[in-house]
Amino acid sequence: MQATPQPVHEAAAGHAEEINALGSRAFGVSWSLAFPRPGNLHSTITQSPRNGWAFTVTLDDNNQVTGFAVIKPHMGEGHVMHESVWCELAFVAIADTHRGHGLGTDLVADARRRALAAGRLGMMATIQTKSVDWYSRLGWRIGDHSHALVIPDVRTRRYGPMVWIHQSRMTHPRWAWTRLDSARPVTAWTSRGGHVAQRDLLAELAAQEAWT
């Protein structure tokens, strides 16, 4: 086992089988819902430069996948993919044999850099309760159980400015979010029932409009 953190690489289609095996072990039903059929993951990785997704991996000395992260565009109601100042850190997983060496931290830091370079200003994630402390140490803001995530979003391809309300999920019951650019600090809220004052939402949309 390699004892030091490994550089983060862009995933290749040839990594799909190893990523799929690790994702299935780590996330179970959440993973199978995201990539339900053979070939889904392979094709998504292949098309990622065009569809706005990003797959990254850490590799051991034998070029075997020891961890991975998946970034995808923010998806709104009805899974309509659109341009956004936000994106989603959909999955982060580390092989059991390589935990404790900072690989997850490296993958998240790399995901943040990639998202900012792509023009995103905020990143969200659904996380398991056991991951709350880890995300908190990385500076993410965590929502309570059963709270919705409310995201004002000035830049959408189809609808223009929107406010998206994402309800909590059974498999990943906590929302987390983080800002990517301290000079352009987007804001989201975790709120029971998704209720946020209208003046706060309008102020956030106006701020985003000034930055984009």
Task: State the average pLDDT for the chain.
Answer: 88
Give the number of other CB atoms < 10 A from CB of residue 141: 16
Q: What are 185's two structure tokens?
A: 């600090």
Digit-coded pLDDT (tens) for 85-96: 899 999 999 999
3 has a pLDDT exceeding 90:
no
Over residues 93-118, mean pLDDT: 94
3-state helix, strand, coil in the chain (%, to 5): 40, 25, 35
User: Could you give the 3-state DSSP secondary structure of residue 94?
Assistant: strand
Domains in the chain (CATH in brackets) are 8-211 (3.40.630.30)
pLDDT at 82 over 80: no
| pLDDT higher than threshold 50 for residue 2 | no
Give the range among 33-37, 92-96, 150-154, 175-179 with minimum mean pLDDT: 33-37
**C-alpha to C-alpha distances, 76 to 36, 56, 83, 165, nearest whole angstrom:** 20, 24, 10, 8
Per-residue pLDDT band at 77 (split at 50, 70, 90): low
Average pLDDT over every residue of 16-44: 90
Alpha-carbon gap, residue 25 to 199, rounded angstroms: 44
Q: Band the pLDDT of 81: cuts 50, 70, 90.
A: low
